[in-house]
Amino acid sequence: MACTCRLVTTDNTGMVISESLIRSWFALQQQLISGLRLAYVDLHGPGVLPGGLIVTCPAQPDSTVELSLAAQLAQRSGAPVTGTSKSTEDGADILRIAQPVQLGRHASGAMVVEIEAPVDRQAAVLQLLKWGESWLNLALVQCNENPDLEGYKRLIQTGLAQTDYRDTVTVVLALLRIRTGCTRVALGHLTDKGVKLEAVSDQHQLDTHSARVRSIESAMAEALHVGKTVCWPGASVDVDELPQHRQLIEAGELSGVCSVPLMQGMRNPLVVCFEYAQGFSEQTSRQAACEEGATIVAPLLELYRELNRPWLHRFTILCRDGIQHLVAGNGRRVRVGLLASALFLVAFSLSTGDYRVPASATLEGVIQRAVIAPFDSYILEADARAGHEVAEGDLLARLDDRELVGERRKLRAEQGELDDEHRQAVATLDHGRAKILAAQLEQARARLSLVQDQLSRTELRAPLGGLVISGDWSRSLGAPVQRGDLLYQVARLNEYRIVMQVGDRDIAEVEVGQRGTMTLSALPRETVRFTVNGISKMAAQESVEPSFRVEASLEDTLPGMRPGMEGVAKIEVGERRRWWIWTHELTDWMRLQLWQLWP
């Protein structure tokens, strides 16, 4: 990631804060704050050049003016300043936070960061920026005495490269041991039961019940009790003042031990214990090196430890911090507001409201007639299709009658022959043959009458005036149809009913006579009232989930209504407590699951 550094003047008297330090800080923040895309740091004071130090990571000279104004505003107000915008590249939410910075006596100013994150991450980002500021302060504690921070820069970068907290601790402690020249480095943190040893630089696994581990934990607890760095042996320390450190040295045959407790800015106090097998005569320089190393790496370890905690633990800490903020003196208005909101929510939940059962609904005509194929044939003409308004008797379609016309001619010719033969048999007094021919003639007449009736039904006409709601054969001329096939459906206009599909969980609440309202998808701004007048006794078999057919009559109609429109209906069941209305589906599901699991 490229960074730009602008020094306003060239005088370097007393300069402590460098571009290298700011880059290390930015690398740390990038690992901790996901989506961090820009950082702008503006510092002034004795620790930087007289004209000031301005660092931008990465280089974006076009936005420097806006960042500078945001930094000045945060520095003047003494509080964080936030804003949001949209990225011009991908349209993502950009959260900009400007926060004042105070780096001890070395420098003061402000930092501005831009993160691809929603507004609800603001509190978490502010906390991480505070930790980053603490890291800068701790890194500058020993800056006057040892300005060479390149070794710790590589140490921090190596630690940040690890993804697992345990790997980070192992790498940092191993490099810290090399950096300080000690024999072994141990890390412990304070718990509810006392100090717990977490890791040792030269051991991958700890035997928590060993005497060595207990001795180190006792020495760490002793350092926390003293509240400052403890080096033993020391010129100003009496032999009987630090018995646990003395015991640790004697048990491990060490020349010296330096324990550095870190409590300020830490959620859980840490203790870093440095053990020296030999060469502890230069106690002053050893103590300075141990304090410097511990104060620089401790914030990194603490941050990784917090980020790798289980979500439930982080949620518990967040709730605890929120409660502490509420009980604090400056949270009185918040407490009053939350109490009022809680009382209002409880009162509103216990009040009663109208309970309505939702269901998908379809608009149907009260009177619908079907036009079916009277015999096997082909579509010859089709003048009507779905959506056309027709009057009673209008021609909808015409079937092919060529086969019927040919059959009629054949039957008429056969009837004429039989009639002639019958008259001849009567004239010759052949009574037996006359009777047979009379029966055959009657059969031919019946067949001719049937064909004549079928010819009269080749024209399919509307059985009533209304709207054709199904059927479109205009693009299927010549298509074969069989007797009984549904060709058209016609429904009378302005006479509708509602057909609803109510789930099996709610059908017990529905009764005949209940009223409700329906909103159609085609007319979402209007509602119509209805009354339930029929409930199916059995669930529909074709539905994915069990549902019952509920019919209702409309109390009024709307212009533009058409059969087949769909919408959402809500049946008014009665008054229930709002808490029950909100939660009954979940509680009913839980009861059913418990019943299934109960032996």
Whether 14 has a pLDDT exceeding 60, the answer reads no
pLDDT above 90 coverage of the chain, percent = 5
Torsion, Cα 25 27 28 32, to 10 degrees, reads 130
3-state secondary structure of 192: coil
pLDDT in tens, 257-299: 889 998 876 777 889 999 888 767 655 567 888 888 888 888 7
Separation CA 119–CA 131 (nearest Å): 20
Average pLDDT of span 129-145: 70
Whether 157 has a pLDDT exceeding 80, the answer reads no
Classify the phi-psi angles of 387: left when phi > 0, otherwise alpha if psi is within -120 to 50, otherwise beta: left
> What are the DSSP calls for 73-95, one per residue?
HHHHHTS-EEEEEE-TTT--EEE
pLDDT for the residue numbered 10: 34
pLDDT in tens, 532-582: 998 887 777 666 678 888 999 888 888 878 888 889 999 998 888 888 888
Q: Which residues contact 347 (CB under 8 A, 6 or more apart)?
A: none
pLDDT for the residue numbered 136: 77
Average pLDDT of span 425-448: 77
pLDDT for the residue numbered 283: 56
Residue with tokens 């950009």: 94
3 state SS for 369-426: EEEECCCCEEEEEECCECCCEECCCCEEEEECCHHHHHHHHHHHHHHHHHHHHHHHHH
CB contact at 8 A, 441 and 419: yes
Query: Helix, strand, coil: what percent of the chain each, to 5?
Result: 40, 30, 30
pLDDT in tens, 84-121: 877 666 667 788 888 898 887 778 888 888 888 887 78
H helix or E strand, kind and range, residue 199? strand 194-200
φ, ψ of residue 190 to 5 degrees: the values are -85, 130
**What is the overall mean pLDDT for the chain?**
78
- Token readout for 437 is 């021919």
Residue with tokens 């709610």: 506
pLDDT above 70 coverage of the chain, percent = 87
Measured in whole angstroms, the distance separating CA 566 from the mean position of its chain's CA atoms is: 30
H helix or E strand, kind and range, residue 39? strand 36-44
pLDDT tier, 63 (very low <50, low <70, confident <90, very high otherwise): low
pTM over 0.75: no
pLDDT in tens, 225-239: 888 888 877 655 554
Separation CA 415–CA 411 (nearest Å): 6
Window from 24-38, 313-327, 435-449 with minimum mean pLDDT: 313-327
Burial class (CB in 10 A: 0-12, 13-18, 19+), 282: exposed
Separation CA 213–CA 584 (nearest Å): 55
Average pLDDT of span 139-167: 67
Whether 30 has a pLDDT exceeding 90, the answer reads no
On the question of a cis peptide bond just before residue 58, with omega within 30 degrees of 0, the verdict is yes
Separation CA 409–CA 444 (nearest Å): 12
pLDDT for the residue numbered 570: 92
Q: Which of 23, 4, 32, 22 is nearest to 129 (CA)?
A: 32
Residue with tokens 């309505």: 356
Residue with the larger pLDDT of the pair 79 and 405: 79
pLDDT in tens, 384-435: 777 677 777 777 877 877 777 777 777 778 777 777 777 777 777 777 777 7
Classify the phi-psi angles of 64: left when phi > 0, otherwise alpha if psi is within -120 to 50, otherwise beta: alpha
Task: Report the amino acid identity of residue 408.
Answer: R
Whether 332 has a pLDDT exceeding 70, the answer reads no
Average pLDDT of span 119-139: 79
pLDDT for the residue numbered 439: 80
Average pLDDT of span 200-216: 81
Strand-strand pairing, 377-382 and 395-399:
antiparallel
pLDDT for the residue numbered 542: 63
Q: What is the DSSP letter of 61?
A: G
pLDDT for the residue numbered 12: 39
Radius of gyration of the CA atoms of the chain, in A: 45
- Token readout for 378 is 């082909």
Whether 218 has a pLDDT exceeding 80, the answer reads yes
- Residue 324: CA count within 13 A, CB half-sphere: 6
Average pLDDT of span 302-321: 75
